[in-house]
Each structure stands twice: as C-alpha cells, then as structure tokens.
Amino acid sequence: MVREVSRGHTSEELVAHRTVARGDDEGVGLPVAVLAEGVVDGDLNAREVVQAHESDRGPAEPAARHAGAECRSCDCASYRRRPPGTAARPRTRADSAAADGLWEKNTPQGMMMVMYVPPRADRIATLHPAWGAALMSLSGAALVSLRDPVPGFAFDAVIGLVLLAVAAFAAVALSVATTVRILRHNAEYLADLANPGIGGMIASWPAGLQVFALAVLQAGISGAVPRELALIVGMVVFVPGVLGTLVSGYAFYTRIIGVAEVSPAAVSGSWFVPVVPLVLVPSILSRALELGLPGAPTVWAFVALAGWGIGFTLFLMLASIIGSRLLVAAPPSAHQAPSWWGWLAPLGAGGVGLLASVQLATDVGVIDGAEGMALFLVTVMWAFSAWWLLLAIRIVAKERRAMHFHLGWWGFGFPTAAFATLTAIVARRWELPGLAALDPVLWLAVLVLIAALTVLTVRGLRSGATWVR
C-alpha cells in the first residue's frame, strides 16, 4: 500500500522529497517518484519528476524533464507506459497492484516506481468511473439493512438509515462531479467510455442511483421514512438512473461488440455493470406501486418486464463471452479479483427482479400461474450464485497476497448485498429455517465489508492514492 504521497499542483512546483513505502507481504519496499503533473495519452510528457529514493547523495533532485521521443536526459523507454484508464501488467510482486497507477523505472539505485497523483484541479477530469461502485455498495448495504434481516431487532433499521444518509451524500457528490466531467471534460469521459477495460464502469453512477432509489423505496415500505417522501425521492432518482443506464450501456456495448478488437485482458465482470440496473427495474417499480405510484399498473408491469428482459438477456450473452475468456485466455491479474465477485450482482438482482416482474404481471391479470415457474428459475439462479461464490472466494483467497486496494474493490460490496437479498427471499419462499439463518450472517458480512472498504477509501483519499488512474 502507498502510505504517504507527496504531490505538486503545477509543473513549476516540484514535489517535496518523500519516501513512499510500498512493499509486498515479505516487507520488501520500493521507493517511489511522484509526478507533479498528469499523464497525457499514456505517456510521460514534459513534466517534472522527483525521485524519492534514499541515496548517498542526500535529498532527491529533479530526475529528468520528460518530453516523449525527444527526451535525451534519461531512458524514457524504461518507464512502463499504459493507455489512459488502463492498468499496467505488474512485473514484480511488490508492484502487483498496477491499477494503483504506478510505473516502473530502472535506476542505478534499483527499481523505482513513478506515481502520478492528480492536482486538485484535475481530479474531476480524471475521476475514475469506479466511484459509482461505492454508491452501489453503500445503497445495497442500506437496502439489506432495511429489509429487517434480524427480526425483532430494531437497530438494523437504524443502521440502514445511517447507510442511506451516507449513500445520499455520495449520490449528490458523485452526480455533481460526473455532470461537471461530462460537460467540461467530455473528451476524457468519452475516452473512458471507449476503453474496454473500464468503459462498463461508466454505468456504475446511474446504476448507483437506481440502487439508491430502491433503498429509499424500501425505507418507505418498512416505515423508516414517510411513504410519500420515499415515493417522491425514489422516483426522482430512479428516472435519471434508468435513462442514464440505458444511454451509457448502449454507448459502451456498441463501441466494443463487433466493432473494436478487444484484448482478452480487458474482458471482465465490469462489463456486467450496465446490466444490473435494468434487472432492478421490477423491484423498484413494485415497491413504488405499493407506495401509491400513479399511472396504469399494466403499463408499469410492462416497463418492469421489458427492463428485466433487456438486462438479463444481455447478462446471458455477456456471461458466455466472459466465461469463454476465463477458459481460453490467461487468468485475470490480481487487481481484477473483484470482477470474479461481479457475477453475483446480475444473478442476485436478476433473481429478485424476476419474482417482482412476475408478481406485477400476475397482479394486473396479464400472466397467470407463472409464480411457480419463476420460483423454480430463481432457485436455480440462487444455487449457481452460491456455487460461484465459493469459486470466487477460492480465487480471491489465492490472489490475496498480490492484491492491493483500488476503487474497483467496491465491486465486492453490491454483489454481496444482492446475494444476501436473494438468499433471504429464497429461504422465505421455500420456508427453510436453516437457509433463513444465513440472513443475519450475510447482513453482518455486508456491514463488515462496507466498513473495511470505507476505511481503505478514506486512507487512500488522505494519501492521494485513491485519485491515481
């Protein structure tokens, strides 16, 4: 982990000499140099660098002024370069977290690392799409807490409201930042959208809005907040969320499916992100109708089933692509470990959405007698989710020594909440006390996971490492 980072705000203000400890599980640390300016097009162009290594020559001095191909003062080729928004492949265990935005450089003193921490003025332009995963996870944890995971224990609702308040702050902050980025830094935004490695995560912001809307509506159902207020807030957030999901998902998929030559390394579970909000539509609308949503129920039932149909069919198509990549290509690197967990999100949310859409269609008299088949399919989906969870745990445990925190770790949060929700519903429908006993256990697991991710994120914000692309 990066424990301390010095950063400059302009190319004229060189960063102060500082040693940044970074090591593997054996305690081997690598010194770090910090760039005072940003990375343009994946290269190190015309910026001051300070080497932060300890040497017999005393305090660090400016190492070089990099000017692309015209640089003659040092070996620019010794820097590991990468396209904007993609992670470099690590060479050493000590640099196994390439997603942290570190570049290797060979120096007379040994292997050096170069780290770019964006100036405050550039942080909107370089805002990572994975921030939306934090909103999804916080809202998902609030949803699980507001579902009364421990009957007779009122404190779970209090925890849910606290998480909902934190998610509300995150939703507002992220919405403002993303809107400013789209309007003022559109080129950077579109570059991320066209990047197969992270483009799918663009949809994590509108997806987070939809999960937040679902949590707000659940708060109204449970009586934790006034029903009228929950309905208004939930629908106000839901509409831009679902529209944003449709637009960003369509824009991403049409840029990669049948158009771009995508490297297998870029294919991961992050491609599922635009799918999840669509399979949530029935769950959202069923709660909104219960709270008194005006309009024709038949229309809302049709919208719910259409949304679920688009999302889950996309999931089936993408599952075949991503599954093939896992079988025929090199294993994903350690920093992609959260993508294994991502499979739980469309399965969990899709199972809950299927039950909700069938119930809506049954209530309006369009479909009759489909509840049993829906429960059959959802049970199959839950069983596969449980099997996949065991597989993901094994893989993540095997890679744990090479994993270092980055924003993508928030991809562990919402899938766990989705699996916990589906488990509770399956246990209740089948009336299985043993399975129902997992509800509070999974709820506590979600809370511990969210707490750990929050601590790691705050630590990264203080050091500056969280802003690294």
**What are the pLDDT digits (tens) for 289-305?**
999 999 999 999 999 99
- Contacts of 374 by beta carbon, 8 Å cutoff, 6+ apart: 354, 355, 358
Percentage, residues of the chain above pLDDT 70: 74
Average pLDDT for residues 12-23, to the nearest whole number?
28
Res. 328 pLDDT band, cuts 50 70 90: confident
Q: How far apart are CA 329 and CA 54, in angstroms?
A: 41
- Which of the 8 DSSP states describes residue 23? B
pLDDT above 50 (res 37): no
Q: How far apart are CA 18 and CA 29, in angstroms?
A: 14
Q: How far apart are CA 147 and CA 161, in angstroms?
A: 11
- Write out the two tokens for 38: 């940003």
Nearest to 369 by CA among 381, 359, 380, 378: 359
Q: Kindly tell me the burial class for residue 461, based on how many C-beta atoms sit within 10 Å of its own C-beta (0-12, 13-18, 19 or more).
A: exposed
pLDDT above 50 (res 98): no
Give the start-to-end residue ranges of the domains of the chain: 32-117, 123-464
Q: Which residue has the higher pLDDT, 136 or 24?
A: 136
Which pLDDT tens digit goes with each residue over 263-279? 888 888 899 999 999 99
* pLDDT at res. 85: 43
Q: Which residue has the higher pLDDT, 231 or 152?
A: 231
Note the maximum CA span of the chain.
82
For the chain, what is the mean pLDDT?
78
Name 48's bridge partners.
65
Average pLDDT for residues 242-270, to the nearest whole number?
88
pLDDT above 90 (res 67): no
Task: Name which of 215-219, 259-263, 396-400 the model is least confident about.
Answer: 259-263
Res. 229 pLDDT band, cuts 50 70 90: very high
* pLDDT at res. 119: 62
Average pLDDT for residues 15-34, to the nearest whole number?
31
HSE (CB half, 13 Å, CA atoms) of 283? Answer: 26
Q: Could you tell me the CA-to-CA distances from 165 to 138, 169, 225, 367 in Å, in that order?
A: 10, 6, 12, 38
Q: Which residue has the higher pLDDT, 259 or 443?
A: 443
Q: Are strands 45-50 and 32-35 parallel, antiparallel or unpaired?
A: antiparallel
Name 33's bridge partners.
114
CB 130 within 8 A of CB 201: yes
pLDDT above 50 (res 92): no
Task: For 123-464, give the CATH class.
Answer: mainly alpha
Q: How far apart are CA 7 and CA 251, in angstroms?
A: 35
